[in-house]
Amino acid sequence: MKVFNNKGDKSTKIGFGEGLLSAGSRNKNLVALGADITSSVGMNIFTERYPERFFSLGIAEQNCVGVAAGLALAGKIPVFSTYGVFAALRTTDQIRISVCYNNLHVIIGGAHAGISVGPDGATHQALEDIAVMRVLPNMTVLSPCDAIQTKLAVEAAVEKLNSPVYIRFGREPVPNFTDENMEFNIGKSQLLHPGSDITIFSTGHLTWHTLQAAYLLEKQNISARVINIHTIKPIDEQAIVKAAKETGAILTAEEHQIFGGFGSAVAEVVVKNYPVPMDFIGMNDNFGESGKPDELMKKYGMTYENIISKAKDLLKRKK
């Protein structure tokens, strides 16, 4: 059993800012667009170093996308970020027509993703952004698991792509366990724990919970394979089909609505190629509420205990 060490809890929004600074130091065409919440999304890390490459456009998210599209057409690499509910939902029309239709290299950071935003409540908890962004043609959707991987995701989005990218990240500190030397391959999954009885596919902050679940299941003689899918679109179909064939049961875990999100993306691959029993961890058709992040995760069934319970139930359905 490979044990992943937590290097210390760190917010993925910090990883986003560090990725901007790192990529921006190598590419002078990278510019940042803010919507009045610069530090809340980690952008201050970049803007304090390169203030001349930052443009604060106020609480006008739809306008930010239009400006980003214009900058991309002018040869810049614009990065626009605000809370995910605004970055992905309030601006959907502008992203669809101005960015995706023209296939422009605009990077959109969706902060405050998931229920773990906590006290900000339902209006600010992005739980539908994966579903909206992954349906748009030309859009790449990234959902890194910790701060280090978020930094790597931003660098890859800037340096390895030339098309629209949506990067999802959160606010609360979470375990930081990715190897700094990991190569972030867009479209490829990451095997974190071997297993033969069931595969648990995770994305974002729930990846750490999934690892903890796998370790505890192993003590009960249940071998759970854990695969982190940091690229939801394009998804790693080969890894999903291989897991279905080799383990015969699949559970997905996401801090997002179970309808149309990450689990649905995995299910689309499974049903087309190798149907096996499946189940889903995520928000079950509800809005969130204000509360402490850990309490909300527990109330809405997105903890390692829930993963263990659903994995055991799923194994009963396995042929």
CB 213 within 8 A of CB 121: no
With a cut of 50, which residues of the chain have pLDDT below it?
1-2
Q: Considering the entire predicted model, what is its pTM?
A: 0.96
What's the pLDDT at 32? 97
CB 280 within 8 A of CB 231: no
Would residue 172 show up in a list of annotated catalytic residues for this protein? no
In the chain, which segments carry CATH 3.40.50.920?
A: 190-316
CB 18 within 8 A of CB 9: no
What's the pLDDT at 247? 98
Q: What is the DSSP string of the chain?
A: -PPPPP---EEHHHHHHHHHHHHHHH-TTEEEEE-S-TGGGTTHHHHTT-GGGEEE--S-HHHHHHHHHHHHHTT-EEEEEEEHIIIIIITHHHIIIIIITTT---EEEEESBSGGGGGG-GGG-B-SHHHHHHTSTT-EEE--SSHHHHHHHHHHHHHT-SS-EEEE--SSEE-----TT----TT--EEEE--SSEEEEE-TTHHHHHHHHHHHHHTTT--EEEEE--EEES--HHHHHHHHHHHS-EEEEEEEESSSSHHHHHHHHHHHH----EEEEEE-S----SS-HHHHHHHTT-SHHHHHHHHHHHHHT--
What's the pLDDT at 84? 96
- 10-174 maps to CATH 3.40.50.970: yes
Query: One of 18, 48, 52, 61 is an active-site residue; which one?
Result: 61
Residues 6+ apart with CB under 8 A from 134: 141, 232, 233, 265
First to last CA, the chain: 26
What's the pLDDT at 5? 78
In the chain, which segments carry CATH 3.40.50.970?
A: 10-174
User: pLDDT of 197-240, one tens digit each?
Assistant: 999 999 999 999 999 999 999 999 999 999 999 999 999 999 99
Written as six digits, the tokens of 34 are 């803010």
What's the pLDDT at 1? 39
Q: Which amino acid is at 81?
A: S
> How many other CB atoms are found less than 10 A from the CB of residue 55?
16
Q: Which fold has domain 190-316?
A: Rossmann fold (3.40.50)
List 233's β-bridge partners, or say none. 141
